[in-house]
Amino acid sequence: MAAATPAPAHSRQFLSGNEAVARAAWDAGVRVAAAYPGTPSTEILEVLARYPDLYTEWSVNEKVSLEVALGASMVGARALCAMKHVGLNVAADALMTLTVTGVEGGLVIVVADDVGMSSSQNEQDSRYWGRFAHVPVLEPADSQEAYTLTRAAFALSEQFQTAVIVRLTTRVCHVKGLVTPGERETHAPTGFDKNPARWVMVPGHAKPRLPLMFEREAALRAAAEVSEFNVLDAGSDMRVGFVTAGPAGMHVLDAFPDAPVLRLGFSCPVPIERIRALAATVGRLVVVEETEPLLETELRAAGIACHGKDILTRLGELSPDILKPAVSRLLAGEAPELPASPPAQTVFPRPPTLCVACPHLGVYYTLSQLRNVLISGDIGCYTLGAGHPWNALDTCISMGASMGMALGMDKGRGAQDANKKIVAVIGDSTFMHMGMQGLLDITWNRGNVTVLLLDNRTVGMTGGQDNPGSGRDIHGNEAPRVDFAQLCEALGVRRERIRKVDPYELPTLFKALREETKIDEPSVIITDRPCVLIGDYKPTPAYRVIDDACTGCGNCLDVGCPAIHVTRRGQQSKPSGKVVDLAFVRIDTAACTGCGLCVQPCAPEAIVHAQRVQPLSFIRQNGSAT
């Protein structure tokens, strides 16, 4: 990947919040940046990787990314790590100790909360980590503030020798706005200071540092009270005033342009006295925060009367159409009406599905044909296997959880599940992120689990980033590639119980699954096909349907490929009197990449190459079209 030429300082640019964070880090003289991809934070490191004069890496998980950044900080370099909200849970082990050691070079942790759960399994408020770890939290409201606060975070980090959390939300990450960057500064590493009492966190060293952590927190609280990043927008309508942070502040300004609004860019520690002063000037004080009543609880504990989640929902974003009626009812003395869920959007339903020719299609088609099986799933594109038409995934909790949950199912099942086979489905990147430990636990404890390891050579769900299984680094340069078969053997799976199969060859995949689930020991089936969205994938000529030959059986629809469309439906009466539904189809040849998955279940041989007639017998004799 060629290095980008950054736009000159003081030139206005149209940047997303993620792009603004990346530019701010580069301008601040960051030397090391690490991350694990996860929407909505992914683009931060993707953009930084295009800048010159710094080291960037995709780490195998968020904990490692934070430890890489901390190591750089220890030698006096400025460092950044980025992750989505659930990633900070993974990194928490390192976070809760580095808050005791402190940092040397500026260390900034950018965490992106997915308010509204547009691409996440939960809606988590990362502001709690600032309180839990006793570190400051900065909350930008737009792209310009994302640049300004990220750049300021490095100086704040070095001033107080603490990591700084910059909390974004999806709206800040992905919405673009005008940004004017400043001059780039240079920052030379100061070198490592050998000081075991600070850096070796055994109990005898950690205990004396705890008072220093609390002294630092008191100094940070005083700094927050006078911070220029906490801005009061004066108003003329003093019936109600607002305290808010992040993009919610923009919604408040839009909904109530005449009210006084205190927008907190430096939100933790909370500037209690500054808020108390605002509360004394208004009739009612309303705290507008997404998603938890964190600030509201702290203000009430400080004796400041306020409203918050008693009138506002805890779910999703707080847009003007939510704020206006809630505050109007408050001012009118009426009881609040809290919606049970965010207002439904009137858009045409588009259920998510796998891509045309996705190698996971064959996996879930095959799993859907199995009976008497429990399927433990994981986080990735393949989570979509829980949906129509496969309905072939029974659980999905967190990164790597498929392995431990499958073992727990095996060890905990009763008589009603005694004869069921247990399959764990996990992707290549997720396996390296947090699944390897689970497989080791399965083998060590002799679990009867069959693992489907879906190797598509990329982090597909977040946009096709490279990982240790792709053979390339973040810049696209050649790098060592993990051999998953050898890795699984090293983790305790017998070599005889490790198979590598082509997921486009349905009979081979079905046979492997049927045989391995009958074996009373751990086994691994590795599917080996690249994601269709990366350069490793090579499409072949498309297929089409011979209309006169199509019987409407609908077997091809069970594969779930979105290139197959139903043209008309009908019914047929059998001699037995049973009525069978029919679905006649066509294939979008512009979308089809010739994987051949739909050809294999087509009994009447009605699917052929668009460029030449090629009957099913050819596929059966020669394998898939690719």
Question: Residues within the annotated binding site for [4Fe-4S] cluster?
Answer: 550, 553, 556, 561, 592, 595, 598, 602
Judge whether 531 and 356 are in contact, CB under 8 Å.
no
Judge whether 346 and 360 are in contact, CB under 8 Å.
no
Distance (Å, rounded) from C-alpha 306 to C-alpha 288?
A: 10
Give the list of residues 6+ apart from residue 595 with CB closer than 8 angstroms, or none. 357, 361, 504, 540, 561, 624, 625, 626
| Cis preceding linkage at 325, omega within 30 | no
Which residue's entry shows tokens 């709690």?
128
Amino acid sitting at position 51: Y
Task: Kindly write down the DSSP assignment for every residue of 373-393, as one continuous string.
Answer: EEEE--SSGGGGGGSTTT---
391: left (phi over 0), alpha (psi -120 to 50) or beta: left
Helix, strand or coil, per DSSP, at residue 454: strand
Judge whether 453 and 431 are in contact, CB under 8 Å.
yes
Q: Which residues pair with 422 in a beta bridge?
A: 374
Per DSSP (E only), the strands in 462-555 are 498-501, 523-528, 543-545
Give the Cβ contact number of residue 555 at 10 Å. Answer: 16
> Is the dihedral angle over the CA atoms 568, 573, 574, 577 positive or is it negative?
positive
Judge whether 597 and 624 are in contact, CB under 8 Å.
yes
Distance (Å, rounded) from C-alpha 88 to C-alpha 285?
A: 32
Which string of b and e fits 193-207 if b means at least 16 CB within 10 Å? eeeeebeeeeeebbe
How many CA atoms lie within 13 Å of 553's alpha carbon, on the beta-carbon side?
Answer: 17
Which residue's entry shows tokens 């299984």?
469
Judge whether 398 and 405 are in contact, CB under 8 Å.
no
Query: How many Å from the N-terminal Cα to the C-terminal Cα in the chain?
Result: 28
545: nearest Cα among 536, 554, 532, 534: 554
Distance (Å, rounded) from C-alpha 231 to C-alpha 265?
A: 8
Judge whether 450 and 422 are in contact, CB under 8 Å.
yes
CA distances from 209 to 21, 101, 159, 340 (A): 31, 7, 17, 46
Amino acid sitting at position 325: P
Distance (Å, rounded) from C-alpha 98 to C-alpha 100?
A: 5
Distance (Å, rounded) from C-alpha 580 to C-alpha 553?
A: 9
564: nearest Cα among 576, 578, 577, 550: 550
Cα 432 to chain center, whole Å? 15
Helix, strand or coil, per DSSP, at residue 606: coil
